[in-house]
Amino acid sequence: MAGLVIAGQSGVQALTDGVSTPPRLIRTGEFGFSEIHGRFYEQNYRANLYANGITTLTSINAATFTSATTGATATPIVGVWNPATSSVNVIVLQAVVGFTLTAATVTGGAPFVWLASVGNSAITTGVAPWNRKTLAQTGSQAKGVSGVALTGLTNTLSVMFGSAITGGASGNFSFVGTAAGDTTIHAGTTCENLDGSIIVPPGGVLGLFATTTPVAHSVTSSIFWEEVPL
């Protein structure tokens, strides 16, 4: 019985969607495999990626930024709301928070946790996110709620799981740092690669919160996601 013959084609090909073509070969006859572009390129090129965040250094020194607040005054450090009327799932890919300390006497807010709520249709706040391809605030069905109180939230938030985000003071108690002895104080920026491990359905809200009310902490932040039709 004759074996299966796979015919390839050498060289770079310029194709459009829907075109069938032989697999690529290199000049010595082996299959050619290449790692092209970045890992988010394909969905970004198709204008499916969006982002929102706190872009002006903002104080998070309030209980509304913590997991102690689960109602309509809760304010995510980074967050996204997928309206109940949306026709997409929000696939969360990555979150970033940058911390700075604004005084010598500080209290840390870590560890940080992700809170979520579903079945929300009456939230009246939210910001149109940036499209990562067009760099315009158009095209998204979701709303960014980073640094925005969840006004109109009808179903309380619940702690879902811990976050890899860290930063700011390393202890959730008050202490004073000095130039000569500040080993327990750090700031910096942390990135959490969620890579689609969280899906926010229509009516869902997802936000990052501290577990202790910080003192003398300010942040910038970003969260970005892919929107996939239901």
Classify residue 136: in a domain, yes or no. Answer: yes
CB-CB contact of 220 with 57 (8 Å):
yes
3-state DSSP assignment of residue 68:
coil
- With a cut of 50, list the residues of the chain below it in pLDDT: 183
Identity (one letter) of the amino acid at 66?
Answer: T
Angstrom distances, CA of residue 99 to CA of 56, 162, 216: 12, 18, 10
Of 207, 171, 224, 215, nearest to 71 (Cα)? 207
Classify residue 100: in a domain, yes or no. Answer: yes
Give the pair of three-digit tokens for residue 204. Answer: 């869902």
Report strand pairing: 112-117 vs 205-210. Answer: antiparallel
CB-CB contact of 219 with 60 (8 Å):
yes
> pLDDT per residue over 86-108, tens digit each?
999 999 999 999 999 998 888 99
The phi, psi pair for 65, rounded to 5°, reads -90, 10
Give the pair of three-digit tokens for residue 137. Answer: 């605030």
Rounded to two decimals, what is the model's pTM? 0.86
How many folded domains does the chain comprise?
Answer: 1
Alpha-carbon span 209 to 216, nearest angstrom: 16
Of 56, 13, 16, nearest to 36 (Cα)? 13
Identity (one letter) of the amino acid at 19?
Answer: V
User: 96 has which bridge partners?
Assistant: 191, 222
- For 11, how many CA atoms within 13 A lie in the half-sphere containing its CB? 4
User: Which pLDDT value is given to residue 152?
Assistant: 97
3-state DSSP assignment of residue 160:
strand
Q: 110 lies in which domain range?
A: 38-229
DSSP 227: E
Classify residue 117: in a domain, yes or no. Answer: yes
Classify residue 96: in a domain, yes or no. Answer: yes
Report strand pairing: 9-10 vs 24-25. Answer: parallel
Place of tokens 């932040």: 221
Classify residue 154: in a domain, yes or no. Answer: yes
CA dihedral 190, 194, 195, 200 (to 10 degrees): -130
User: Which pLDDT value is given to residue 105?
Assistant: 87
H or E element at residue 199: strand 188-200
Classify residue 105: in a domain, yes or no. Answer: yes
